[in-house]
């Protein structure tokens, strides 16, 4: 139930980030308004997707924080998803900041707006 949709959203976010960077690089190299504006729009969409992913994480925590229903904490399969490999701190930091930090979505939206504003002045 949770894993399939979540994975597809994460894949979509990854694809959007790659596409946004590709458009930004292409637009910068060729000084093309359309590519830079496309980068801005893609980063805006990525920001919205990231905020959706982040919101789902909050609802998951709220659900399993019910001590009456889960007196010993969340089930082990949920705990493994939340901890995300504690033995790899750099990967875990990058993963958590990319998918679950609300500020990341906000800054992706800001980046998208900056690219759009830049493209308007080319």
- Statement: residue 1 has pLDDT above 50: no
Determine what percent of the chain is predicted with pLDDT higher than 90: 21
Q: What is the mean pLDDT of the chain?
A: 78
Element of type H or E holding 74:
none
Contacts of 18 (CB under 8 A, 6+ apart): none
Let me know how many helices (H) and strands (E) the chain has, helices first.
5, 0
Q: Residue 58 — pLDDT band, cuts 50, 70, 90?
A: low
- Domains held by the chain: number: 1
Domain holding 93, by residue range, is 2-120
Q: pLDDT tens, 76-113? A: 655 555 555 666 778 777 877 777 777 787 788 888 88
Contact assessment for residue 53 and residue 10, using Cβ atoms and an 8 Å cutoff:
yes
């Amino acid at each position: 139930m949770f894993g399939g949709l979540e994975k597809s959203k994460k894949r979509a976010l990854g694809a959007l980030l790659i596409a946004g960077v590709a458009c930004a690089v292409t637009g910068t190299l060729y000084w093309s308004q359309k590519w830079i504006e496309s980068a801005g729009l893609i980063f805006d969409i990525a920001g919205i997707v990231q905020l959706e992913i982040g919101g789902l994480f909050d609802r998951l925590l709220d659900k399993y924080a019910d001590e009456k229903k889960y007196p010993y904490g969340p089930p082990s399969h949920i705990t493994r998803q939340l901890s995300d490999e504690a033995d790899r701190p750099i990967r875990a930091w990058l993963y958590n900041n990319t998918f679950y930090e609300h500020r990341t979505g906000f800054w992706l939206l800001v980046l998208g707006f900056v690219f759009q504003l830049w493209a308007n002045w080319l």
